[in-house]
């Protein structure tokens, strides 16, 4: 079968990547989607069970740091687009093991860029069908550093209907000031991507998104970890005083933004993606407790005593808040879900997919796919 486009999505077995792969495979049957993933602890092919037999989907177990392999995949599949999500993504792990983050996030991105350049530059950055090639790099708002908490109690925002906790927001022009090894490695990779545009003319796009939540997120991150702990009546480790603020976006809304930007975004531009949805950790934790307790038929307040304040994360960024006005004005994107709806959907999904959670927490998902793909 001839495909109109051949697109590599890296990190497609991870949380956000699996939603992006599913969206592209189902919405664009004429595209061949090549999921390139190393299957680290965070990669789980069970996230893609429903689409794995689609005729326009291919899985390639590969490490993005392996330049020769990336080059081979680019050539073998006539790749004309890359949506790059593969990364080490958990801040706490980066504090313990920064080398792995530098390797994958910086060197891995560079290896992918260099492979794409080797194949695309000689053809004038156009694919076999004459379409312009595109290297789309998925990054995070954490590269911008941390914002002040000038309104600890929250105030109505001028630019959104939601409460905000400070006067400033991350825009596309905010200076990079990463604090954690994770955000430093992502910032470095963003710089490399832009350098490939400025130096060689590679058609690149970078987006910086706020915290995502939704189905298939690895339960080391706040929302799935806490839903699972509440379900099993285990302590909820709140770092510091729980006063840190994060800006949450439903993962499918991130995937819809990626789809729009991949197709309509302007080369060399940066777009911030976020839903103007700031929450203090302790408030979101109370929403999770309330929702899980209600869905499990427990009385209101039943799990509140699970809240356990623990030593703060080192260098814990105080507040993230994205201003996504540019994306809204230039490309017309808005998130589809209100937070209340998104969190209800998410909690229900985890409660109804206990088998998925058990597989992940027991490590069985790694054993299962060992035989097929793991080395």
Q: Are 37 and 347 in contact (CB under 8 A)?
A: no
User: Is residue 43 part of the contact set for ligand NAD (CB under 6 A)?
Assistant: yes
CB-nearer residue toward ligand NAD: 101 or 125:
101
CB-nearer residue toward ligand TYD: 239 or 349:
239
148 catalytic? Reply is no
Cα 10 from Cα 84, distance rounded (Å): 5
Q: What is the largest CA-CA distance in the chain?
A: 66
Tokens read off for 260: 């729009």
CB-nearer residue toward ligand TYD: 225 or 351:
225
Taking phi over 0 as left and psi of -120 to 50 as alpha, with beta for the rest, 319 belongs to: beta
- Give the residue nearest to ligand NAD (CB): 14
Shortest Å distance, C-beta 210 to ligand TYD:
9
CB-nearer residue toward ligand NAD: 277 or 303:
277
Nearest Cα residue to 81 out of 18, 139, 123, 135 = 135
Of 104-133, binders to ligand NAD (CB under 6 A) are 104, 108
> Which part of the chain contacts ligand TYD (CB under 6 A), choosing from 60-68, 108-116, 232-240, 260-268?
232-240
The kind and range of the H/E element at 368 are helix 364-370
CB-nearer residue toward ligand NAD: 64 or 238:
64
User: Is residue 237 part of the contact set for ligand TYD (CB under 6 A)?
Assistant: yes
Tokens read off for 153: 């109690």
Three-state DSSP state, 9: strand
Query: Using the rule CB under 6 A, which residue among 82, 187, 209, 255 binds ligand NAD?
Result: 209
Query: Using the rule CB under 6 A, which residue among 222, 251, 289, 347 binds ligand TYD?
Result: 222
The kind and range of the H/E element at 84 are strand 81-84
141 catalytic? Reply is yes
What residue 6 binds from ligand NAD, ligand TYD, none (CB within 5 to 8 A, per partner kind)?
A: none
- The active-site residue, picked from 142, 190, 278, 317, is 142
198 catalytic? Reply is no
Q: Are 9 and 21 in contact (CB under 8 A)?
A: yes
> Which part of the chain contacts ligand TYD (CB under 6 A), choosing from 100-108, 116-124, 220-228, 355-363?
220-228
Cα 144 from Cα 178, distance rounded (Å): 6
CB-nearer residue toward ligand TYD: 60 or 323:
323
Start-end of H helices in 103-150: 109-120
Phi, psi (rounded to 5 degrees) for 270: -115, 140
Cα 122 from Cα 249, distance rounded (Å): 39
What residue 11 binds from ligand TYD, ligand NAD, none (CB within 5 to 8 A, per partner kind)?
A: ligand NAD
CA quadruple 303, 352, 359, 304: dihedral, nearest 10: -10
What residue 108 binds from ligand NAD, ligand TYD, none (CB within 5 to 8 A, per partner kind)?
A: ligand NAD
Shortest Å distance, C-beta 166 to ligand TYD:
15
How far the first Cα of the chain sits from its last, in Å, is: 30
- The active-site residue, picked from 37, 60, 63, 141, is 141
How many residues lie near ligand NAD (CB under 6 A)?
30
Residue 291 C-alpha from the chain's centroid = 24
The β-bridge relationship of strands 31-37 and 155-156 is unpaired
Binding residues for ligand TYD (CB under 6 A)? 91, 211, 221-222, 225, 237-239, 244, 246, 281, 313
**Applying CB under 6 A, which residues contact ligand NAD?**
10-11, 13-17, 37-40, 42-43, 63-65, 85-89, 104, 108, 138, 140, 186, 209, 211-212, 218
Q: Which residues are catalytic?
A: 141-142, 182
């Amino acid at each position: 079968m001839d495909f109109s486009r051949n697109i590599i999505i890296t990190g497609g077995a991870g949380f956000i990547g699996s939603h992006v792969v599913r969206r592209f495979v189902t919405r664009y049957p004429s595209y061949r989607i090549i999921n390139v993933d190393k299957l680290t602890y965070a990669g789980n092919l069970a996230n893609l069970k429903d689409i794995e037999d689609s005729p326009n989907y291919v899985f390639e177990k590969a490490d993005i740091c392996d330049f020769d392999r990336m080059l081979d995949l680019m050539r073998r599949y006539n790749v004309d687009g890359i949506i790059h999500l593969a990364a080490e993504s958990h801040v706490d792990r980066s504090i313990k093991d920064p080398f792995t983050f530098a390797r994958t996030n910086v060197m891995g991105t560079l290896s992918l860029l260099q492979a794409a350049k080797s194949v695309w530059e000689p053809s004038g950055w156009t694919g076999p069908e004459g379409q312009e090639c595109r290297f789309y790099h998925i990054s995070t708002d954490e590269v911008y550093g941390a914002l002040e908490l000038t309104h600890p109690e929250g105030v109505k925002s001028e630019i959104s209907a939601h409460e905000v906790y400070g006067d400033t927001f991350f825009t596309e022009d905010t200076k990079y000031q990463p604090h954690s090894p994770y955000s430093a490695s992502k910032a470095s990779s963003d710089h490399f991507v832009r350098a490939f545009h400025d130096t060689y003319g590679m058609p690149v796009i970078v987006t910086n998104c706020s915290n995502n939540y939704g189905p298939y997120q690895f339960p080391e991150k706040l929302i799935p970890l806490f839903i699972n702990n509440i379900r099993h009546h285990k302590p909820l480790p709140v770092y510091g005083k729980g006063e840190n603020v994060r800006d949450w976006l439903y993962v499918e809304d991130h995937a819809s933004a990626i789809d729009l930007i991949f197709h309509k975004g302007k080369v060399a531009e940066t777009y911030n993606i976020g839903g103007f949805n700031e929450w203090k950790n302790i408030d979101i934790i109370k929403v999770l407790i309330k929702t899980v307790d209600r869905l499990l038929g427990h009385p209101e307040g039943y799990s509140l005593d699970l809240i356990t304040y623990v030593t703060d994360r080192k260098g814990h960024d105080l507040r993230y808040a994205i201003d996504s006005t540019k994306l809204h004005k230039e490309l017309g994107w808005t998130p589809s879900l209100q937070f209340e709806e998104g969190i209800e959907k998410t909690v229900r999904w985890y409660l109804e997919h206990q088998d998925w959670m058990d597989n992940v927490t027991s490590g069985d998902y790694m054993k299962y796919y060992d035989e097929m793909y793991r080395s």
